[in-house]
Amino acid sequence: MSWIKPNFLWMMYRCGWASKANQERVLALWLDKTAFEEILIQAVFSTFTAGNYESSEVWKQELATKNVRLQWDPDHNPYGDKLIRRALQLGLKNDALELFGKQQVSRIEDVTEFVQQQKMHVDNRQLAQLYIPLERVYTVTDAALGQKIGVTSLAT
């Protein structure tokens, strides 16, 4: 399974700003909203929560048959501290991972050097000089998809 982490600071927390063992490279991947939603539609929560599924048995069946895992983890600030805001993580395997790698990703960029430069600002506690990608809140326009992934506010 390979994980998509659409949130930059969560990814920096996870890889230690490209300094953790076997995580010294950071790649930025581009995919369009349609591809992103195709992945979300296939997703099953990685842990059972009452209300998301009819029963734990239904959840277990989906977990066994679907190739996309969804989890909401705490987002992090530049220093790695947990925030109240949640960050979406998507785990892909088998056919979903193959489709993602071969057809859905439209661009790949190695941003390791950029990440290392920004880490210096974090290490020196100079957040005013920190430059991170502009992120926008993903707005769900499909009510069924919003309910499925645990997002209640919809675009109007």
> What pLDDT digit, counting tens, does each position of 6-55 carry?
889 999 999 999 999 999 999 999 999 899 999 999 999 998 887 788 88
Q: Is residue 156 assigned to a domain?
A: no
Q: Is residue 109 assigned to a domain?
A: yes
**How far apart (Å, rounded) are the C-alpha atoms in residues 110 and 118?**
14
Q: Is residue 40 assigned to a domain?
A: yes
Q: Is residue 50 assigned to a domain?
A: yes
Cβ atoms within 10 Å, residue 128? 6
- Enter the pTM of the model: 0.83
Domain, as residue range, for 9: 2-149
Q: Residue 107: what are its φ and ψ, rounded to 5°?
A: -160, 145
**Based on the structure, what is the number of domains in the chain?**
1
Strand order in the sheet with 82-92: 2-4, 82-92, 68-76, 43-45
Name the pLDDT band for 155 (thresholds 50, 70, 90).
low
